[in-house]
Structure 1
């Protein structure tokens, strides 16, 4: 067997799939790699293979060897969710009702109001302005506060805890962030039991048979997943469109294209440089992509590479707001499709709708090569996004 490829594979810039990843794809769909931690893994890059394995019970989020160390993403999920991390059906049954179409429809007017207020602040500033700081980092935290029933005055505190918890460069800071997040959520859950309101945490608390530990874990997960991930996606969504001005102009000319533009930019979103893919562990031996994976093997399902697979998407590196993205794996697939996809999509649609209406002349204030990805966080995203108009 050839020497495993070392991860991560360096990107030429924030918009491009790493050349090394593209080279791997040209050689096949499943590859032996070495992780940053020094262990070996199977990296799956083919669209068909990633799609199959995302919904395959031959893989698990948890290492079948409890004594073995877990990767950062799995360890964080286990910390947030406790026993629910391995009880996926129960976790989804508890979460899914809170992301229904009816719930999202009810939430949207408040998201529109919050976004408009932030764009008022943007308009009052002298360009260039960092759109990430003014909009992308602010809107998700305000939305999560309102939706979950968190007092707005606490937004800054738990936003800082979440950022610290996601830090992969400083374990002490990450531990302190998790401690602060859990401590706050514990107080919040207790307050909702005592004085429930019309919010997601109160509805979770009122769920028959749910335990306080389960509510605590789900609350922490929603705060973490609903904040950091959406911050990253707002930045890359706007960047991808501004980097191809004819696509931005298409939205200005026809805002009806915005839902498709959201899904297309999600398909093209760039990953965290630390992250080779969604982490899984084989629970049995099986074959895929011409290789044999053994029980206990670490497997990385790279949805970004899969979404750049020419077998699934013609000219995959090009942004096309009219593209059919039904096959996109941006939010996973099957039983492991992201529960919060509807909320993330809705926020992105609101952001684009208001930006093209109020700032049709929006453009990048620096070249793409000057932009950088965040290397210190589990989620990734841009360091900054300077824009002008």
Structure 2
């Protein structure tokens, strides 16, 4: 096994869109918390072990804010996860307020009430794919643009109260904002996104509806500690994260199933009984993006034999942690029937993803519907030829399929 350079620079090259870079396996076994250079060229720590990532995710000595923001390491050139966010002095209180405000809107019960709406959307998109398949000479259609991308956009529009007609606009802004090839454009897109959200917030202020953005606008109006800029940032984050992650998981999950024919046929044989397990294994194995969750140390702390100093950047590689052989037998194998279930795909601890229930419902409905309605679905390209989107969050740029 090759030795790791003293400070390898991220991102690391991957064999294909489903596999991780081999260096993660080396790091996990030799130095589960390692010194690295970020894509932006700054120093950081990278956690790759399951135990270490889970521990650090729950450790309140790490946060998204930084004690001296001007001195913080930059992690990427995108306009998300590029550096610290929020106030060091009030981060915990701000986070508590945000969870208290949003938890009712994203409760499992409320998400279940959306199931019928989501099923109708999925069926409509599959109808369109069937029509496109019949109208195309070679029968090849793009599942990414035909289902994986538009479904989460439509769902988050419904939940947040965003006009459905604005979906293409904010989706394009999201793509640019997460872009890693043009720093200036990424940050311009972030400003455009904030401007768009400010306008929508004012519409909700004048004409509130039964939606999340209306709730957030009303909360900001009655809470002096909740600034207008914080409100806008929160709404931008909800709209971005509320669709981006699920888009990627649907695409990568489809790839895992279609490149492992036995798993796909098992799902086709029993969609009702096998979908939940498939979704959880997709959440464990799929690895969109090449970085991880970014945190900053609020005090010195020791973990895995190293001392992380106050202010140091820490990148938590959930992708690598979810394939840790110390936790999962045959950890690189896609196996919905595995007994060692559980994963960090939605995070852990106080920052556990508030949209986890929504993402699970969307994916369950998507994969059960595909198994029922397109049992002969198959990939129409070689895995090695599929390109990742040039964004921080990654995922497939296209997903050609046929049946």
State the TM-score, normalizing by the size of structure 1. 0.93
Q: SS at 2:214's partner residue?
A: helix
Residue from 119, 128, 135 that aligns with 2:126: 119
1:387 aligns to what?
401
1:9 aligns to what?
12
| 1:277-316 superposed matches below 5 A | 277-316=292-331
* Contact in 2 for aligned 1:6/1:35 (Cα 8 Å): yes
2:252 aligns to what?
236
1:94 aligned onto 2:101 = yes
Give the superposition deviation at 1:26: 2.6
* Contact in 2 for aligned 1:44/1:299 (Cα 8 Å): yes
1:106 aligns to what?
113
Give the superposition deviation at 1:143: 1.0
1:129 and 1:348 map into 2 onto residues whose CA distance is 20
2:83 and 2:310 map into 1 onto residues whose CA distance is 24
Describe the superposition over 1:330-357 as per-residue Cα deviations: whole angstroms up to 9, x where unpaired: 0110101111111111111111111101
Aligned pair count reads 386
* Contact in 1 for aligned 2:49/2:320 (Cα 8 Å): yes
Give the superposition deviation at 1:198: 2.1
Q: SS at 2:299's partner residue?
A: coil
| 1:346-385 superposed matches below 5 A | 346-374=361-389, 376-385=390-399
Give the superposition deviation at 1:269: 0.8
Q: SS at 1:175's partner residue?
A: helix
Describe the superposition over 1:112-169 as per-residue Cα deviations: whole angstroms up to 9, x where unpaired: 1111111111011232111111111111111111111222222222221222211121
Give the superposition deviation at 1:302: 0.7
State the TM-score, normalizing by the size of structure 2. 0.90
1:189 aligns to what?
201
1:35 aligns to what?
38
2:261 aligns to what?
245
In the alignment, structure 2 segments of 5+ residues that lack a partner are 134-138
Distance 1:147 1:81, change over 3 A: farther
* Contact in 2 for aligned 1:282/1:294 (Cα 8 Å): yes
What RMSD in Å do the two structures reach over aligned CA positions?
A: 2.3
Q: SS at 2:103's partner residue?
A: helix
* Contact in 1 for aligned 2:46/2:314 (Cα 8 Å): yes
* Contact in 2 for aligned 1:62/1:74 (Cα 8 Å): no
* Contact in 2 for aligned 1:54/1:333 (Cα 8 Å): yes
